[in-house]
Structure 1
Amino acid sequence: MAGRLDSVPNRRAIIDRRALSDSIAALEGDEAALRQQVVALLKAALEAGRAEIADRLTLNPSRGLEAASAQAFLVDQILRLTFDFTTQRLYRLGNPTAGERIALLGVGGYGRGEMAPYSDVDLMFLTPWKQTGWVEQVIESMLYTLWDLGLKVGHSSRSLDDMVRMAQNDLTVRTALLESRFIWGDQALNDEGIARFHREVVAGTDKAFVAAKLEERNERHRRMGDSRYVVEPNVKEGKGGLRDLHTLFWIGKYVHRVDSVAGLVDAGLLTREELHQFQRAENFLWAVRCHLHMVAGRAEERLTFDYQREIAERMSYANRPGKSAVERFMHYYFLQAKTVGDLTGLFLDHLDEQFARPGRRFTLAAIPRRPRKLNGFKLVRGRLALPSDDFLEQDPVRLIEMFALADKHGLELHPAAVRAARRDARLIDAKVRRDPRANALFLDVLTSPRDPETVLRWMNEAGVFGRFVPDFGRVVAQTQFDMYHHYTVDEHTIRAIGLLAQIDRGALKAEHPISTAIIRHIVSRRVLYVAVLLHDIAKGRGGDHSVLGAEIAQQLCPRLGLSPAETETVAWLVRHHLLMSATAFKRDLSDFKTILDFAEAVQSPERLKLLLVLTIVDIRAVGPGVWNSWKRQLLTDIFEGAEEVLRLGHKQTGRKERVEAKQRAVAEGLGWPDADFAALARRLPEAYWIAEPIDILEANARHVAAAGDQQLSIAASVYPERGATLVTVYASDHPGLFYRIAGAIHLAGGSIIDARIHTTQDGMALDNFLVQDPFGRPFDEASRLERLKAAIEDALANRTRLPERLAAKPLPRVRAEAFPIAPNVLIDNRASNRFTVVEVNARDRPALLHALAYGLFQSKMTIHSAHIATYGERAVDTFYVTDLIGAKITSPARLKSLEKRLLEAAEGTAGEKAAA
């Protein structure tokens, strides 16, 4: 990789080693004084060199490889100067013995000649035999000098025998040595080390090395999220990142002894075009990594939201209609990550061909049985292959048929077929898209009872999917710049289809019993699959993606062969695919009008079934940790309530029966005398029995019974089904109770993720809160639970100055602050017959709920229920309120005043104005 360093332009402007060497030679003094002066000189040179590289990257922000090579060149010169100073001035030997020789080698990334600004300097001090006293002095002195310079040094000192033995036994050492590069010292010793490494370590171990590196890569992917489309990617270690490119080169170098990436073409592992793609992706990823280090001021490898915006600006991305600069930057990032994934797949398939014995496979499973009808395609080692290079060109419909056959027979694709598909995808034109045979084959893949997720992902990576459905092509690698979505739009969609197929097969029955049961009774499976495909297809277009997506559905569904009735249903599902989750998570389901309004929008039991399954797979495909039992319960409640209305008409027929069924279940669980339970049931309103699940109803009943005549009783326990702590407050109801509890929970370090507020018939508040710590985990230690209860008790007893303590508590939300969210207050008097519904959208932050609740208290509102929903950085808090005498808020002046006060609370300016 020395050639890469040689290509760095105007290297002397980065660091002038000769001039520095002359300056060091002119220094005088004892050892300590000399060392101090040299460190000062080298530190100034290092800082000046880094500044020069940073300036160059600012002027040419996409030249990543040049910046990475320049960093390595700068460190090379610092190391050479340090080595010469140490061996010629501090520990000069007049007549060195054969054992008093040192070769200084760069290993790992530094050995490859690539460094980000804050990368580790990985060194190996190579000696012929066991270290002499002089060698130990030199190594120790050099390390102290490098540490004084502020460099983070990873080092080892080994004899030739040690090097060979450790490389034979340790894959990490072997990989690091594979890219070793001579920096300075004894050249002959370095050459001997290289010869022994290839002769005694590499020879005859190709297969073992490849297998080990592939397993290492798979484990790294599992650790990093196993997708190249996570929206906060790790540039170095993540799937589709630099490490994947490095792995390809390591394997090529180990197996074919190539010295550069270009050598992979001669080895037959990459074509010229693929080499160009490799180099373009590598250059871009290095540019991002260098900018990331500079912005973070440290060795940061994760491209988090708060860095994405700044790096997009540094790399000269600009806003465009419908897409911000940061979204355009991340879109290009994911296109490059996709390229890395495509190259990796082809590369590994070629290795498979090279290493496999006849009739066998090297990296993959055994060859499946041979299917009979392949319509002209053929099998090569159990993989679907082309009979000739122009086979797809003869009939471009075969580009779709190839994937349909792979799905139908459970086959994988031959690397040559994948390469041909990628090359010939451009042949998919309007004529092919209109072809009934092509559309039928595509629909077969989409609705496959086998594994549509895998085959659709293959189609996407080959570029065939986006060419056949151009609207889908527009969302390939389309990022969603928020903290809620974990994947790009295309990856989210394909994962959702995979989850749908699993529910369809009954594989998720334990997690989704209702969906698994009702999917068997859905009239048109393909309506559901097409709706999942299209639900986010219009994202990034600058309008409401649900409305625009419905328009796309109206055009695309007939082409795919769907009937007018099916087309209408798909369009409705796409238009309303957020309706069920928005209603379930942001509205009070115990208010029967909520169910009536939802049922009126859905209109038919069939749509309700379709919408439930679509909603579930959409939420689950957002990312890990987003789906939970609480959301399952809410969706079950709204489904059962709406099904009842749609089946029986707009009568509250089943509500009483449902309350009675819950009461019977709770009574059975408690085992109380009938009279005692009947007395409790009379105290609690019907809405309470509807709103709470049975386990919380039982816990509340025991709590109330234990409290007796106390005016305040607080319970806190871990609620594992929700991954949170359940906090129950039983207290004499009075205005301001809710905001005081919310503030106290924040002061105790908690975050409220759900709140359900109830008032008994005799004026006691029974409030249930689900609380997590700042890391999204429950409070589970006894001491923390006690602290939580004590904080609430102090707040309700006025033993603490709540506003002052909240003002003094810092509210750090750096990542959320990367997103511009204008607060919005929506007030609806039609959503409930009894309450005014207030919905506040704002950037999530600690104590937001307290601020909003305090705003409602100041406005003389009574909160009857609160529903807290968080979508990454965005909080949507909904309150069902009345005035102090239990009436809706209808006065325009009062509504306007309420809106203003809540906007100030959401913005965080209410406290400032009060202080002023």
Structure 2
Amino acid sequence: MNEIDIPNQRAIIDRRELAEKVEALAREKGEKARQDIVSVLKQALEDGRKEIDRRLSEQPSAGHLCTGGQAFLIDQLLRVIHDYVITHVYPVANRSSAERLAILAVGGYGRAEMAPHSDVDIAFITPTRKASWCEQVIEAMLYFLWDLGLKVGHSSRSVDDTLRMAKEDLTIRTALLESRFVWGDRPLYEEARARFWTEVVKGSERQFLAEKLEERDARHKRMGDSRYVVEPNVKDGKGGLRDLQTLYWIGKYIHQVQKGAELVDVGLLTKAEYRSFRRAEGFLLAVRCHLHAITGRAEDRLTFDLQREVAARMNFADRPGKSAVERFMQFYFLQAKRVGSLTGVFLAHIDEEFENKRAARGFFAGWKQKARDLKGYRVFGGRIAAPGDEWFRKDPVRLIEIFQLAEANELEIHPETMRQANRDAPQIKDEVREDPRANALFVELLSGRNNPEMVLRWMNEAGVFGRFVPDFGKVNAQMQFDMYHHYTVDEHTIRAIGLLSQIEKGELKSQHPRCTKLIHRIDSRRALYVAVLLHDIAKGRGGDHSVLGAEVAHELCPRFGLSEQETDLVAWLVLQHLLMSSTAQKRDLTDPKTIEDFVGEVQSLERLRNLVILTVVDIKAVGPGTWNSWKAQLIGELYDAAQERLRLGHMGHGREQRVAAKQEAVAELLADRSNLVGDVGELFDDAYWIAEPEDVIALNLVHYHAARAVKDQLSIHCEYYEARGATLVTVIAADHPGLFYRIAGGIALAGANIIDARIHTSRSGFAIDNFLVQDPLGKPFYEESQLKRLKTSIGDALANRIELVPKLAQRPLPRSRAGAFDVAPRVNFDNSASNRFTVIEVNARDRSALLNRLARVLFESNLVVNSAHVTAYGERAADTFYVTDLTGSKITSKPRLDEIERRLLEAASDTRQKELEEA
């Protein structure tokens, strides 16, 4: 927007001094001076960039100064190059009217907003087409710019062509809209500019608005459609620089303003909003400059590995419970949120302007739709509005009421009223927070029957949500610095509430039939909505957020008007909101002790119903692709087992009855091959029959029979297993020590991740090992070539045709950004989680073949693995093993446990990985 004065400009570049050097070289060396002139210009560019970088390090948030300085530097270089070319390279004594040239800065350069490695976007304007002198000058100038190492985006057109193309192309029209005269023939520029406004802009305002908003929406969709994604794109992401620029373009096009400050004069923004506009823009520009400086290229994505460096460069420091990078990202998201608020108000004003113009000209000119009254508010055109400027100040409870009415009546809030709510949000003090009416309205909104997600998001944008629930205000825009969570805490929470509402309305019945049915059987729907609101409320406080969140629930629920029974339920749900997902993904659900322990915590069917719904919306709201059929299967199995145990007071059937029922079901599946249940099935003990699903057992029996019939010592079968959203890999082989870790290595070499493993040995000494595998993106292998690769890789590993350790070390982790996180490996032993096994859980940074290395340690430690359960949380993996020693007993000796822990930690550590890679 070119609204900033660059202090001490000559310290960046002294054009007069540079021009004198160039002139002296031209006189001295004539045509041979070019290389020396390029060297002088290069040095000036390098010195200018160093000076700008120095200023950025001194004022790390001064984005406008940095980007304005970059544009100023390029301006001066262009002017010197232009003057040299027309004086010494292509001089013309008496130029004709066709031999004129205007140089325009366009794009970010036109706005004087250039990051260190931004493209130099230039438009050369000529009076006519194919003026040879103009073409020669342009070509000579471009070669100089390229020799300086600049990335130049350029166009060369006559005035007529420029205007014709601007009418046809939105990109060209936008570029001209923010073009800035740099050098050359100013009258030519003024002619083009005047004709642009009269011939192109006039009458096309509404079309420009529609096309720009369509362009913006498409860009948002491409970028994830949320301003709260944890690796945002500073330039093109939602809430980023491009959104601010879009506002300026629209305002400038419709009102023909030349500077951002003039948006206030035409009534599109207040002075306070414009100051916010500039602050947000300055901060985002600074972040972009730091990204360019760190990477040495035009990098606009704020990835995990760059976030720490930018935070350090911008002087953010650690605070108790919150790291420097989390504080930096929270501030970033607050700016993005502000951009969103400004966008909403701005576009609604524009929309209203067009509506007023249409009404003034149309058949109903002078007629205005009469507003109806709704509890003192004015409602018209699908919007609810405050009746006066003092409305909220007279009764701040109305700041809650208006959002509740909007949700209950499916209304939008008028932009002027949103502006008032934002301004008056500080009126919400303790007396409002303790007001029973205000709290009743809030809970009514939270558990609204229409679209609570949308209205809560408006409430959050207006700053009312965080004022009314200060604990929520603390997690506003708070980032979770990991690769698992896709959104900030407040955005994740609001999305989870939206998902709960969709489930209740039956909109997700096909994906979540169980939850859709159960939500209508719970005792208190408002308690469940409050639990979803509070489940992550205590993140970033430096302790266990579940424990701290339960304490917050005990304080807030009575204030919200919940009964003692509802309060206890909400507090328990917040305390245990990770229990079900953790148990389902990390524990063996066929082990009766797992179900007993889980039920011991849950204690009632009412808690179980609420917990399963909370678990589903919590996982699903983490981000796209986090919820999948595998997790659905696990949580469904745990719910069914726990529900049976709670309903009957014991497991529905004893061990013998369960095995008999399973055998009967498998026989039915096998149909005319049902004899295999007796012939082959008797080779497996009860643990096998209980552990595996009927369909997997049926497959196993067929494969086992076929392998033994041909005396095959090794059978590997791979197939897409739709029910669990994974690929089932079954290996039948003569049992021997190290079989599990070798299979794990083979699977890793094929580029697959194991998500579950069950290891069984028949009475005849053959192992049947069943693995569920997915690719690194959580998708199953189902193409024939993928299944063949899996089978070949496992076969090679088991037959010792490859050396596993060096081969695995050569495979890089597909998600190398995990290196941006500190994940200290941790090993936990639990001898109470199972009656038969020692449960070992290893948490470590996820990396290639981690499971293989851990399995090898267990083999070398003389442990027998019965089952393995693998869970990935972004950059962190949690691998759980059910093991015994060689005699089938638990491991209880402290020295033995210490030695196993030491070896597992070594295998899981980054140091060990580096050693293997160097081997």
Q: Output the CA distance in 1 between the equivalents of 2:316 and 2:461.
A: 25
Which residue is equivalent to 1:164? 163
After superposition, what is the alpha-carbon deviation per residue over 1:198-245, rounded to whole angstroms, capped at 9, x for unaligned? 111000111111111111111111111111111111100111111110
Q: Output the CA distance in 2 between the equivalents of 1:398 and 1:585.
A: 45
Shift of 1:418: 0.8
Q: Output the CA distance in 2 between the equivalents of 1:695 and 1:92.
A: 86
Shift of 1:688: 4.2
After superposition, what is the alpha-carbon deviation per residue over 1:735-760, rounded to whole angstroms, capped at 9, x for unaligned? 11121122223333333333333333
Alignment counterpart, residue 793 of structure 2, candidates 787, 791, 794: 791
Q: Is the 8 A contact 2:3 2:259 kept in 1?
A: no
Which residue is equivalent to 1:12? 10
Shift of 1:36: 2.4
Which residue is equivalent to 2:577? 577
Q: Please give the secondary structure, in 2, of the residue aligned with 1:96.
A: coil
Q: Is the 8 A contact 2:90 2:133 kept in 1?
A: yes
Which residue is equivalent to 2:712? 710
Structure 2: which 5+ runs fail to align? 362-368
Give runs of aligned pairs for residues 709-788 of structure 1, distance below 5 A: 709-719=711-721, 724-779=726-781, 781-788=783-790
Which residue is equivalent to 1:67? 66
Q: Output the CA distance in 2 between the equivalents of 1:439 and 1:397.
A: 9
Residue 647 and residue 245 in structure 1: after superposition, are their counterparts in 2 closer, same or farther (change >3 A)?
same
Q: Output the CA distance in 2 between the equivalents of 1:883 and 1:848.
A: 22
Shift of 1:765: 2.5
Which residue is equivalent to 1:185? 184
Letter in 1 for 2:584: A
Give runs of aligned pairs for residues 512-551 of structure 1, distance below 5 A: 512-551=512-551
Q: Output the CA distance in 2 between the equivalents of 1:734 and 1:32.
A: 82
Q: Is the 8 A contact 1:242 1:285 kept in 2?
A: yes
Letter in 2 for 1:523: D
TM-score (norm 2): 0.95
Letter in 1 for 2:130: Q
Which residue is equivalent to 1:22? 20
Residue 131 and residue 564 in structure 1: after superposition, are their counterparts in 2 closer, same or farther (change >3 A)?
same
Which residue is equivalent to 1:220? 219
Q: Is the 8 A contact 2:553 2:571 kept in 1?
A: yes
Letter in 1 for 2:894: P
Q: Is the 8 A contact 1:483 1:816 kept in 2?
A: yes
Q: Please give the secondary structure, in 1, of the residue aligned with 2:672.
A: coil
Shift of 1:697: 4.6
Which residue is equivalent to 1:122? 121
Shift of 1:805: 2.6
Which residue is equivalent to 1:286? 285
After superposition, what is the alpha-carbon deviation per residue over 1:47-67, rounded to whole angstroms, capped at 9, x for unaligned? 221111111111110101110
After superposition, what is the alpha-carbon deviation per residue over 1:414-467, rounded to whole angstroms, capped at 9, x for unaligned? 111111111111111111111111111111101111111011111111111111
Letter in 1 for 2:222: R
After superposition, what is the alpha-carbon deviation per residue over 1:563-607, rounded to whole angstroms, capped at 9, x for unaligned? 111111110010000000010011111111101100011000110
Q: Which moved more, 1:328-337 or 1:424-433?
A: 424-433
Q: Please give the secondary structure, in 2, of the residue aligned with 1:520.
A: coil
After superposition, what is the alpha-carbon deviation per residue over 1:528-565, rounded to whole angstroms, capped at 9, x for unaligned? 11100110001111111111110111111111111111
Q: Which moved more, 1:666-675 or 1:280-289?
A: 666-675
Q: Is the 8 A contact 1:901 1:910 kept in 2?
A: no
After superposition, what is the alpha-carbon deviation per residue over 1:306-358, rounded to whole angstroms, capped at 9, x for unaligned? 11111111100111111111111011111111110011011011112101158
Q: Output the CA distance in 1 between the equivalents of 2:19 and 2:778.
A: 55
Q: Output the CA distance in 2 between the equivalents of 1:660 and 1:267.
A: 80
Shift of 1:139: 2.4
Give runs of aligned pairs for residues 538-687 of structure 1, distance below 5 A: 538-651=538-651, 653=653, 666-687=666-687
Q: Is the 8 A contact 1:31 1:90 kept in 2?
A: no
After superposition, what is the alpha-carbon deviation per residue over 1:795-851, rounded to whole angstroms, capped at 9, x for unaligned? 111122222333444457542121112111000110001110000111111121111
After superposition, what is the alpha-carbon deviation per residue over 1:233-282, rounded to whole angstroms, capped at 9, x for unaligned? 11001111111100110011001111111000001000010011101100
Give runs of aligned pairs for residues 503-518 of structure 1, distance below 5 A: 503-518=503-518
Q: Output the CA distance in 1 between the equivalents of 2:654 and 2:202.
A: 76
Q: Output the CA distance in 1 between the equivalents of 2:694 and 2:118.
A: 55
Q: Output the CA distance in 2 between the equivalents of 1:659 and 1:168.
A: 76
Which residue is equivalent to 1:851? 853
Letter in 1 for 2:831: N
Q: Please give the secondary structure, in 2, of the residue aligned with 1:442.
A: helix
Which residue is equivalent to 2:869? 867
Q: Output the CA distance in 2 between the equivalents of 1:519 and 1:654.
A: 31
Residue 393 and residue 690 in structure 1: after superposition, are their counterparts in 2 closer, same or farther (change >3 A)?
farther
Q: Is the 8 A contact 1:371 1:409 kept in 2?
A: no
Residue 451 and residue 737 in structure 1: after superposition, are their counterparts in 2 closer, same or farther (change >3 A)?
same
After superposition, what is the alpha-carbon deviation per residue over 1:78-128, rounded to whole angstroms, capped at 9, x for unaligned? 222222233322222233222222211111111111111111111111111
Does residue 99 of the first structure (1) align with residue 101 of the second (2)?
A: no
After superposition, what is the alpha-carbon deviation per residue over 1:167-196, rounded to whole angstroms, capped at 9, x for unaligned? 111111111110011112211111111111
Which residue is equivalent to 1:366? none
Q: Is the 8 A contact 1:361 1:381 kept in 2?
A: no
Q: Which moved more, 1:145-154 or 1:655-664?
A: 655-664
Which residue is equivalent to 2:826? 824
Give runs of aligned pairs for residues 335-354 of structure 1, distance below 5 A: 335-354=334-353
Letter in 2 for 1:386: A
Q: Is the 8 A contact 1:306 1:814 kept in 2?
A: no
Number of residue pairs matched by the alignment: 908
Q: Output the CA distance in 2 between the equivalents of 1:457 and 1:338.
A: 10
Q: Please give the secondary structure, in 1, of the residue aligned with 2:403.
A: helix
TM-score (norm 1): 0.95
Q: Which moved more, 1:35-44 or 1:898-907?
A: 35-44
Shift of 1:891: 1.3
Q: Which moved more, 1:285-294 or 1:698-707?
A: 698-707
Q: Output the CA distance in 2 between the equivalents of 1:33 and 1:26.
A: 13
Q: Output the CA distance in 2 between the equivalents of 1:361 and 1:230.
A: 43
Q: Which moved more, 1:118-127 or 1:774-783?
A: 774-783
Letter in 2 for 1:887: S
Which residue is equivalent to 2:237? 238
Q: Is the 8 A contact 1:483 1:873 kept in 2?
A: yes
Which residue is equivalent to 2:450? 450
Q: Is the 8 A contact 2:812 2:848 kept in 1?
A: no
Q: Please give the secondary structure, in 1, of the residue aligned with 2:292.
A: helix
Q: Is the 8 A contact 2:684 2:761 kept in 1?
A: yes
Alignment counterpart, residue 894 of structure 1, candidates 893, 896, 901: 896
Q: Output the CA distance in 2 between the equivalents of 1:654 and 1:534.
A: 40
Letter in 2 for 1:640: D
Letter in 1 for 2:560: L
Letter in 2 for 1:453: E
Which residue is equivalent to 2:468? 468
Letter in 1 for 2:203: G
Shift of 1:69: 0.7
Letter in 2 for 1:399: L
Which residue is equivalent to 1:109? 108
Residue 484 and residue 656 in structure 1: after superposition, are their counterparts in 2 closer, same or farther (change >3 A)?
farther
Q: Output the CA distance in 1 between the equivalents of 2:360 and 2:886.
A: 75
Residue 584 and residue 173 in structure 1: after superposition, are their counterparts in 2 closer, same or farther (change >3 A)?
same
Shift of 1:162: 1.3
Q: Please give the secondary structure, in 1, of the residue aligned with 2:768.
A: strand
Q: Output the CA distance in 2 between the equivalents of 1:587 and 1:879.
A: 9
The alignment yields a C-alpha RMSD, in angstroms, of: 2.4
Which residue is equivalent to 2:204? 205
Q: Is the 8 A contact 1:370 1:382 kept in 2?
A: no
Q: Is the 8 A contact 1:843 1:875 kept in 2?
A: yes
Structure 1: which 5+ runs fail to align? 363-368
Residue 24 and residue 660 in structure 1: after superposition, are their counterparts in 2 closer, same or farther (change >3 A)?
farther
Q: Output the CA distance in 2 between the equivalents of 1:906 and 1:420.
A: 55
Q: Which moved more, 1:675-684 or 1:774-783?
A: 774-783
